[in-house]
Structure 1
Amino acid sequence: MVTCVQVEYETKWEELFKNVKGKINGIPLHEDCWTEKHLCSSCRNCLISWVDDLRDIPTIPKLRKALEHPVFLKQHHKQSHERCRYCKFDECKHRKALVTFCHDLVKAMPDFTEDWLANYTTKDVDTHLDMLYLLTTYCDTARCVATACQDFDVVETDIDGWIFAQNSFARKEVNFANSDITIESSDNVRFLLHRKNLETHTEAFPGSDFESDKTNGEVVKLTEAAEILEVLFQFVYLRNQPVLSALGVETLLVLAEAVQKYQVFSAKIGCEVQLRKYVESHSISILVHALKHYGNYETVDLVNTCASLLVRKGQTVTID
């Protein structure tokens, strides 16, 4: 049962999101975000994702907790002295631009409380539950604050009961509330996954004999960075595979190494297809990779192609 209140509220939220995305898209682009009047394309995409993901946070407490993140960063970003990956300066204006904008978005959102919800309580229980669902499912924007900000180095700090640590949020593409295993990247990003998927689609990940208790904070730590694992783990779920054509050759080679290391079968051919696009410009790197994993690809054609190119160029390669 849909009430007039629900329709009115939904309309207001949709209008807010439309205006916010319009504001984000209206900010001039600059590759380094050196001033608060500009955003780089990566920063802009993070903000758009943040807004588009508003329907995922299921409860008001979780929404509040996530909304604390940009506020915390705005107040404490100077505590971190690490150089931003996007900027040439130690004083990271890219970070400041993103955090300031997140903070402004937070201020534009209503203060959701149980008391506020109580104002809409009616004798019709179903109507009230519908309203509660509408409100909570329209409040998922904040979950992507973590994604938007997790490239920024922030020291662990306790603020009003909320504890934030560097890169402590799991990536949204491979983050499941009902997971039974937690995996942590080399840069301290955690992925909440399902053991059965890892057992079924890979050969090298821990099986059922490996104990991982999220409650006690025990995790499986890997040597790969989060940007590699985020792509890798998407191949172990029933979903559209990630677009590898968007990856640069250096990232692609690291991903291909991880695919072979953990024997993620569904990703092998995709990596090989993309690597073939770079054989002209990166013959040696791709040849070394292909020889290292000789026999793991469907054919030896990748090795032969790289070798033939190097012979035509008159290059000699010595491989230990």
Structure 2
Amino acid sequence: MHKNTRESWLTDVYLIAFLGWMSVLAIGMAATRPHYLFLNAIFLGVTICLILITYFWGLITGLLSNLAFIFAQLLTVIYENQIKADLVPWALVYWLFIPLLLSLTFYGMTAHSRRLQTQNAKLQSDLVERGAFDEDTNLRTTVSYIEDTAVFTETNRRFDLPVTTMIVRIRYFQEMRNMLSDAQLRALLQLVSQTIKGAMRTNDITYLLDRSNPTWAVLLFTDASGASIAANRIKGNFAKALANDEELSNLDVRLVVGVASWDSSKMQSPYDLMNAGIKETEYDV
């Protein structure tokens, strides 16, 4: 939040400075004689080009372009004074530094504005990741999983109901990621999510724990044997759904499933159950 405030403040400062130098430029152009109206128009066009060069090609390129413009003006003054004996009025001296200052302030304003946008996008992404639901699949996230697991385990303690988690991952996803387009990745996440939800009972809750290495979880009131049956059902349904999907049917995608049951003598927190399920995916061959 402090960084956002700082970037917003600097953006405003550069904006005010840019508008201030624009005002100085307007006053300077109005103060010169009408005889130099055409020259002012040319210099104004060059100034706009310099601002755009600085914006699109970066600060270094912009500075070099401005220095070249200053050098060209000095050569023009020398030529007018020495060769043509035509004195250039001192009122035009503002063209030596105003374009440079306008370029610098405009670049500073836009640079800090882009940083502010990047930080806001990251903040929104963090809020989604830490939130209760994933925005694409509409599944609950890790936050909800941890909270719900605490409720499930308390039910296990009170009523001695078996609690099991099922962790689902895509086999060799990291190796496969470079072969997937962003559209295919979104379609794959949707397909796996729908398959898992469709294969579970209405009182079983499905979660998307991780998007970077897609990891799903399901909480069930059943033992490991019952969860294994559901795991096989998910794999079978996914194979059929994948074959019928035009966008993904050419991909060799397989799921790995890990099943872990709550053991109050060995597990202390919901993370223990989740990590145990993730560990079990390594043995699903």
TM > 0.5? no
Larger Rg: 2
Q: When the two structures are superposed, what TM-score results if normalisation uses the length of structure 1?
A: 0.25
Q: When the two structures are superposed, what TM-score results if normalisation uses the length of structure 2?
A: 0.28
Structure with bigger strand share is: 2
Structure with bigger helix share is: 2
Higher relative CO (Cα under 8 Å, sequence separation at least 6) belongs to: 2
